[in-house]
Amino acid sequence: MNIIVAADKNWGIGKDNKLLVSIPADMKMFREETSGKVVVMGRKTLESFPNGLPLKNRVNIVITKNKDYDAKGATVVHSIEEALEEVKKYPTEDVYCIGGDSIYAQMLPYCDVAHVTKIDFA
């Protein structure tokens, strides 16, 4: 499994449910790397996308404790364990954890590749 993240020199990844900075080349790399693959994220990450909709051309898996949460076009699970069970349906190299912070922290032990864009921003 993969982690894909852009982080500043203090390993900050965002503020107020937004990226720290917008880097078009990094966004392009993210799209190319994850298109046609599986992305695993927390609810807040999904809600930070335009109109709160899942990413196109990807299998979107959303982790939330809210048992009533519905994310149109995404698979909703309610724990890291459920997410790990769900991703077993796909080749491990095609699965990308895309955040946020608590999801990264919980998924890191299960990931063997990290795609990190280091940002000179603090």
Q: How far apart are CA 103 and CA 77, in angstroms?
A: 13
Tell me how crowded residue 46 is: count the other CB atoms within 10 A of its CB.
25
Residue 17: the pLDDT is 78
> Token digits for 46?
């999904």
Instruction: Check whether the bond before 42 is cis (ω within 30° of 0).
Output: no
| pLDDT greater at residue 98 or residue 10 | 98
Q: Is the pLDDT of residue 16 over 80?
A: no
With tokens 């069970």, the residue in question is 85
Q: Which residue has the higher pLDDT, 34 or 117?
A: 34
pTM, 2 dp = 0.93
Model confidence pLDDT, tens digit, residues 50-107? 899 999 999 999 999 999 999 989 999 999 999 999 999 999 999 999 999 999 999 9
Using 50, 70 and 90 to split pLDDT, how confident is the model at 9? confident
For the chain, list the domains and their CATH numbers.
Answer: 2-119 (3.40.430.10)
